[in-house]
Amino acid sequence: MPKPAAIRSIIGLSLMAAALVQAGVATASGSNALRYQLDPRQSDVAAKVNFFGLASKTARFPKVSGGIELVPARLDTIRMDVTLDASALEAGDPLTLERLKGENFFDVARHPTVRFSGRRMTMTGPATAIVEGDLTARGVTRPVVLDVSFAEPPASASGREPIQFSAQTRIDRTDFGMAAYRLIVGKTVTITIKAQMVPG
């Protein structure tokens, strides 16, 4: 039977080997990461909510920025960041626009941006996935999940061609402190993203 000292040495060497392997994986992942920047001219973000239960109203965010960092061999390690300029949002009529920018909704005077930060992606098909992350709006951060469809499988990304995708999620606006007009405006907001990311 091995002596206790020998056993400790074996355990120590095993732990050291595991640490070196993990460090090597991390280094390889970092060196193979592909980085893309969002092309605002080819991207669109919209938020739609029921109105009186009979129709809907949609707000659009024409000023967006952000990017994606991914490793084709390790798509679960994706880093996604999209920032919306809430102060530039557009609506169908002046009254709706005023209310959306006001303190009952986005309160753009104090919270001029909306941000989504994706931290993990799970592929559900060659070109479909769910991305888990956090949405920050009106100074409140909540976890959300995006349903994403890529134009091409991200596993084949080369870092030379643009990446196009569409994504959708649903949130409860009251979770973000937007609780006004409950009898008129629905609680569920559907957020849709159509984006093109270019190498950079």
> What CATH number is associated with residue 117?
2.40.128.110
Is residue 111 located within the same domain as residue 182? Answer: yes
The reported pTM is 0.80
Is residue 39 located within the same domain as residue 132? Answer: yes
Is residue 4 located within the same domain as residue 94? Answer: no
Question: How high is the pLDDT of residue 53?
Answer: 78
Give the domain extent around 75.
Answer: 33-199
Is residue 181 located within the same domain as residue 114? Answer: yes
Is residue 21 located within the same domain as residue 75? Answer: no
Instruction: For residue 170, give the amino acid letter.
Output: R
> Total domain count for the chain?
2
Q: Distance between CA atoms of 156 and 163, rounded to whole angstroms?
A: 10
Cα–Cα distances in Å, from 24 out to 18, 19, 28, 63, 128?
10, 9, 6, 39, 29
Is residue 28 located within the same domain as residue 59? Answer: no
Is residue 189 located within the same domain as residue 119? Answer: yes
Q: Distance between CA atoms of 188 and 170, rounded to whole angstroms?
A: 6
What contacts 72, CB < 8 A, 6 or more positions away?
32, 34, 154, 155, 156, 157
Is residue 9 located within the same domain as residue 89? Answer: no
Which of 49, 169, 45, 55 lies closest to 105 in space, CA to CA?
Answer: 49
What contacts 22, CB < 8 A, 6 or more positions away?
none
For strands 163-172 and 140-150, give the pairing: antiparallel
Question: How high is the pLDDT of residue 200?
Answer: 86
Question: How high is the pLDDT of residue 5?
Answer: 52
For strands 79-85 and 44-51, give the pairing: unpaired
Place of tokens 């061609």: 161
Question: How high is the pLDDT of residue 159?
Answer: 94
> Helices (H) and strands (E) in the chain — how many of each?
2, 10
Is residue 56 located within the same domain as residue 6? Answer: no
Is residue 140 located within the same domain as residue 171? Answer: yes
Is residue 15 located within the same domain as residue 62? Answer: no
pLDDT tens sequence for the chain (200 residues): 555 454 444 444 444 444 433 444 333 344 589 999 999 999 999 999 998 878 899 999 999 999 999 999 999 999 999 999 999 999 999 999 999 999 999 999 999 999 999 999 999 999 999 999 999 999 999 999 999 999 999 999 999 999 999 999 999 999 999 999 988 999 999 999 999 999 98
Question: How high is the pLDDT of residue 110?
Answer: 97
Place of tokens 């080369």: 158
Place of tokens 């920025």: 65
Is residue 13 located within the same domain as residue 68? Answer: no
